[in-house]
Structure 1
């Protein structure tokens, strides 16, 4: 199961919807609902998520959260065209080892991402010179 599937299941059960009831209101097979809840399929598009939100009368916050979990739950991502050569090796090693990483190791990766974002922000802001050579 993934974050999207877990949250959708929680919302559905909270509203006492059965998978077949939700499927019927979306005009899909109940097996489709089962597959997106279990993580066997990638989360649906935003359009389908909005239809789910309408069918289950989700609040705006619940709908936003469901969309956020959908983004987090996508299994495949595309490497940018301008990735440095070192990035390919790194991504390959990460792909091979990702299923064996602990929660602590994921937290370290998250910290590295945050450091990188802070570095990029700092690099964009050029220091302001408060004095110029030769001025008194």
Structure 2
């Protein structure tokens, strides 16, 4: 169930459930975070935070499960990309950080400057989390001739 996002697509109506592939849930989180950064409407921001929280709640219990067989090829590449690591939380911790920030922002009790900073932090962590979930994991075996 791959979701195609278009600029006119209403993110509040994007369907997802516990049966949704983790890659699609990660893509939803990424898109919700991107839209949240550009959003200035308080009700829409709160709704986006609710969608982020729901996605994270579905993702969290699946993070230590094996990757489904139908997705293995997607995560297999000829050469793994090199990624500099400056901050290396595991997927579970990163998910928990995002969920905590989401819940804090939903409380709507922060000063505007604090809310803006924490929203930015949430979005950066969400992009990191989604990128980590969708990153290649295995290199193809090179056969000698």
TM-score range for the pair, normalised by the shorter chain length: under 0.3
- Greater helix percent: which structure? 1
Q: Give the greater-gyration-radius structure (CA).
A: 1
Larger RCO (CA within 8 A; separation ≥ 6)? 2
The TM-score with structure 2 as length reference comes to 0.26
